[in-house]
Structure 1
Amino acid sequence: MRIGMAFGDVRGPAPVPEITRQIQEAAAGGVGSAWVTHGVGWDALTTLAVAGPAAPGVELGTAVVPFPQRHPLVLAKQALTVQAAVGNRLTLGIGAGIARMVSTMYGLPTDRPARRMREYLEVLRPLLRGEVVEHHGETYTAVGSLDLPGTEAPSVLLAALGPAMLKVAGELADGTITWMTGPQTLSKHVVPSITHAAGGRNPRVVAGVGVCLTSAEDAVRARFAEQFALAGQVPEYRAMLDREGAAGPADVLVVGDETSIAKQLDRFRDAGATDLMLAPIGTPDEQARTAEFLLAAERRRSGTAVAPGRGM
């Protein structure tokens, strides 16, 4: 199981230079991948174009860019531009977005999300490969091609939770990225569904997990429950919490001391996750302490000796 770390909105507001510093120090500390989350703050792709060059050798991913607001020609051009900026290290994570936000903020349709995603990927992936596209479909029209020298088509992961979207992810993407999804739901629902849809391929399953190293577990969970209360009411996440038997987002948070956290993370590996996207949460001090612990644990696991940074 590969270990990555999350940056950006999920960890709270921070200026781009600070996010760049966090990613740079995490890379120096031995993290294998850096994922910038995309919420109501900074644009994830643009942030990676700025921060990515400061972290050579590390996979850079978006988790995740909502597709409804970006025509596939626009997203393909932006993704390949980022590829050029970061030396072809981008993994493009995309998703349908939270339906309530997409409809309220942008006035865009949110019906048939899996059908729209299927058609979107049928257009996006050839464009990323530099192929000519002439598509006149049910939900998209796209005519054109992109010739951006020195760029390679990025791997594409899909935020998929429900059965229909997991089927699309298995058939047309390289895997999935989850958030607020516990190990029981991964092992019984996400992993078998996407693996079946992928046929003979081995899809990537990147499990996003909030983590906090602390001796005040109850207080941390209470704060997280308050901060992410609205997310727990979103139908897309609520369905996954119900599958897990969780009352709210705080119940799928990984919290505790060093030994407890290690055991909890092992459950995601046993559930079939190929990657962890670890998001240190809490106060700046809690995040720094958690990040240093996670990086030290990863260095021990991989047998590398890298001096820790000032805290990610």
Structure 2
Amino acid sequence: MVSIGNGASAVRMGIMLNNDVSKSRPSDAIDALERQVAQSAADGFSSVWLSHIFGFDALTALAVVGRNVPGIELGTAVVPTYPHHPGVLAQQALTVNAAVGGRFALGIGLSHKIVIEDMYGYSFDRPARHMREYLSVLLPLLRGEPVSFEGETLRANLELSAPPAPDMPVLIAALAPRMLKLAGAMADGTVLWMAGRKAVAEHIAPSITKAAEEAGRPAPRIVCALPVCVTDDAEAASARADQIFEIYGQLPSYRAVLEREGAERPGQVAVVGDEETVARRLDDLAAAGVTDFVASPFGSAESVARTRELLRSI
């Protein structure tokens, strides 16, 4: 019998969708994604989240598959800001939100210098100012307001005619102090990756909550996504996580949050172990201030099935 405390059961449970579609035919990949969403809704999960890296465009994919699956929140984790002008992203987000009946959560982030400069060819200069100015354009447009803005990193002078969505959650991938302050003061919260209990409890939750309070905003959502594997061999699962998620131990922003956790490798923040252990880890995250937990199941087919079953029970 799994012992589940009051913490994890009070947290909204979500699932990270698989956006690795490189070996699939286009129609098969979309159908597979829709099946993932439908199964997650049937299992009672509160939300599904899709990354926007080099697979499908997350916004387009969620609009297509979400329209056919009612009753579950659909979120991006996350869309990079630099390659998307905020006016363009607002238009896309409003379209997705209309397609899925107002169930869309827009997660955005700076991405990383290696991606923005080396791959896309944009400057990664002044990221915190860029995000502040980005939100200054994006948020009014989502509310249906015209924007005339000239900042140091971007300009905008436009108005959209798409149906406004003033209640659409906008979440920032925020780990550093300045970004957490922005997420609390201007947005609806943060969507995290590679942040464990200690980092959330001692750094993320206090910083973003204080910023929201000082700005007179509601309590922020803290959406915590982590790799999860229910298994009887926690050591092997942790080692496997180190291999799968190795890149996140090398990128500066994730390296910094791992250091706050006192972790040297991604496998040390992955939620691994048997049902009792994983349930206890989720309770700890809830107690730390997490409002939404998003599992990224990994491991063998048996482990993934055990992981989903535990999360369903919670």
Which letter does structure 2 place at the counterpart of 1:118? R
Q: Deviation per CA, 1:223-281, whole angstroms, max 9, x where unpaired?
A: 22112112211000000000101011000001111111100111100101111111111
Cα distance in 1 for partners of 2:236, 2:30 equals: 29
1:6 paired with 2:6, answer no
Q: Which residue of 1 aligns with 2:140?
A: 126
Deviation at 1:59, TM superposition (A): 1.1
Contact 1:181 1:207 in 2 (8 A): yes
Which letter does structure 1 place at the counterpart of 2:113? A
Q: Which residue of 2 aligns with 1:305?
A: none
1:177 paired with 2:186, answer no
Q: Which residue of 1 aligns with 2:8?
A: none
Q: Any idea what SS the aligned residue of 2:311 has?
A: helix
Name the stretch that deviates more: 260-269 or 9-18.
9-18
1:66 paired with 2:80, answer yes
1:90 paired with 2:90, answer no
Q: Any idea what SS the aligned residue of 1:88 has?
A: coil
Q: Which residue of 2 aligns with 1:54?
A: 68
Cα distance in 2 for partners of 1:17, 1:5 equals: 17
Q: Deviation per CA, 1:5-38, whole angstroms, max 9, x where unpaired?
A: 1113489977222121011011011111111122
1:256 paired with 2:273, answer yes
Cα distance in 2 for partners of 1:167, 1:42 equals: 31
- The ranges of structure 1 where at least 4 consecutive aligned residues each deviate by more than 4 angstroms after the TM superposition are 10-14, 150-153
Contact 1:161 1:190 in 2 (8 A): yes
Contact 1:13 1:41 in 2 (8 A): no
1:221 paired with 2:238, answer yes
Q: Deviation per CA, 1:73-124, whole angstroms, max 9, x where unpaired?
A: 1100100110111001101000001221111111111121111000000000
Contact 1:11 1:279 in 2 (8 A): no
Given the alignment, which residue of 84, 87, 90 partners 1:76?
90
Which letter does structure 2 place at the counterpart of 1:176? T
Q: Which residue of 2 aligns with 1:309?
A: none
Q: In the superposition, relative to structure 1, how do residues 205 and 12 fare at CA in structure 2: closer, same or farther (>3 Å)?
A: farther
1:182-261 mapped onto 2 (5 Å cutoff)? 182-199=196-213, 200=216, 201-261=218-278
Which letter does structure 1 place at the counterpart of 2:14? G
Q: In the superposition, relative to structure 1, how do residues 151 and 240 fare at CA in structure 2: closer, same or farther (>3 Å)?
A: closer
Q: Any idea what SS the aligned residue of 2:222 has?
A: strand
Q: Which residue of 2 aligns with 1:106?
A: 120
Cα distance in 2 for partners of 1:13, 1:166 equals: 37
Cα distance in 1 for partners of 2:80, 2:225 equals: 17
Deviation at 1:43, TM superposition (A): 1.4
Q: In the superposition, relative to structure 1, how do residues 279 and 226 fare at CA in structure 2: closer, same or farther (>3 Å)?
A: same
Deviation at 1:284, TM superposition (A): 4.1
Q: Deviation per CA, 1:158-194, whole angstroms, max 9, x where unpaired?
A: 0000001111111110000110000000000000001
Contact 2:223 2:292 in 1 (8 A): yes
1:162-173 mapped onto 2 (5 Å cutoff)? 162-173=176-187
Q: Deviation per CA, 1:110-145, whole angstroms, max 9, x where unpaired?
A: 121111000000000001111111111111111111
Which consecutive residues of structure 1, in runs of 5 or more, have no partner in the other structure?
A: 299-312
What's the C-alpha RMSD, in Å, of the aligned pairs?
Answer: 1.8
Q: In the superposition, relative to structure 1, how do residues 97 and 121 fare at CA in structure 2: closer, same or farther (>3 Å)?
A: same
Q: Which residue of 1 aligns with 2:49?
A: 35
Name the stretch that deviates more: 212-221 or 171-180.
212-221
Name the stretch that deviates more: 6-15 or 204-213.
6-15
Cα distance in 2 for partners of 1:9, 1:81 equals: 21
Cα distance in 1 for partners of 2:109, 2:165 equals: 23
Q: Any idea what SS the aligned residue of 1:130 has?
A: coil
Cα distance in 2 for partners of 1:166, 1:9 equals: 27
Contact 2:224 2:292 in 1 (8 A): yes
Q: Any idea what SS the aligned residue of 1:198 has?
A: helix
Cα distance in 1 for partners of 2:77, 2:169 equals: 13
Which letter does structure 2 place at the counterpart of 1:228? F
Aligned residue pair count: 297
Q: Any idea what SS the aligned residue of 1:61 has?
A: strand
Contact 2:197 2:284 in 1 (8 A): yes
Contact 1:181 1:241 in 2 (8 A): yes
